[in-house]
Amino acid sequence: MHVGLIGAGAIGKQVLAYFDDRPDDTVTLLVREGRASPGGRTGVTESLADFLARRPDIVVEAAGQRVVAELVEPILAAGIPVIICSTGAFADGGLLARLTRCAKEAKTELKIASGAVAGLDYVRIAALLPDVQIRYSSRKPVAAWRRELESHKLDPDGLVEPVTLFEGSPGEAAQLYPRNLNAALTVALAAAPAPVTVRVIADPEASGNCHEIDVSSRLGSAHMKFMNAPDPENPKTSLITAFSVIRLIEDYRSRPA
């Protein structure tokens, strides 16, 4: 399999490491001009035209919201399926509609990685009901929110109780934390058009990245909690996020020809 990859940050490096151990697979990495390139068997290009000319079987976007808006449409238009990691880009509902339409016209697929959370099937079902209430909470160690705490005039090293840094809509969360609240938009996309409340919590007792989804409706109630190990490259990113991408790639590989 030939995997195209945009972005070599925390998620991208895990994807690269996975495929580096698989000599029958190849990876082409699209990087911005002047960015350092990885070694190994990975091919590197700074040109979208060259990237498309190499015809990857599937492309992974792991480079941020701006890249989703700027680069994903021409990739889909070329008939290449795309896996999206930076779901925060879809706080702009028009962008999701445009990319979905493009994928349909090109007879290809736009996939959204589940990332750090699961249980989205339950969210989709409950969202059918008018009385549903859905809340997503991101609870991470103080180290993940040091800069944000300092901007609130709080001493990260002296924190003894959890602090709620934000409570509001998924769209607001995506704008305030464009690199760290993709899971909130993933939940919101599953729940649409039902509203979702988002909380961002810095917790000195948290040992990892904790994602909680609370759903209440006449069907019942659910509390889902996922305690994920942080990525060693970036404590704000859950290590499982990269593997949710790898799972989608492997699912694509296993399809009948």
Domain ranges of the chain: 2-112, 120-236
- For 9-36, what is the mean pLDDT? 86
- pLDDT, residue 34, reads 55
pLDDT band at 33 (very low <50, low <70, confident <90, very high): low
Pick the catalytic residue from 2, 152, 211, 223: 211
- pLDDT of residue 4 exceeding 60, the answer is yes
- pLDDT, residue 220, reads 97
Could you please state the CATH topology (level 3) that the domain comprising 2-112 is classified under. Rossmann fold (3.40.50)
- pLDDT, residue 51, reads 96
- For 158-184, what is the mean pLDDT? 88
- pLDDT of residue 111 exceeding 90, the answer is yes
Percent of the chain whose pLDDT exceeds 90: 69
Q: What is the mean pLDDT of the chain?
A: 91
- pLDDT of residue 36 exceeding 60, the answer is no
From CA 190, how far away is CA 233, in angstroms rounded? 28
Q: Tell me whether residue 211 is one of the annotated catalytic residues.
A: yes
pTM: predicted TM-score of the whole model, two decimal places: 0.86
- For 152-171, what is the mean pLDDT? 92
- For 100-121, what is the mean pLDDT? 94
pLDDT band at 233 (very low <50, low <70, confident <90, very high): confident
Please tell me the CATH code under which domain 120-236 is placed. 3.30.360.10
Percent of the chain whose pLDDT exceeds 70: 96
Higher pLDDT, 85 or 236: 85
- pLDDT, residue 50, reads 95
From CA 179, how far away is CA 252, in angstroms rounded? 26
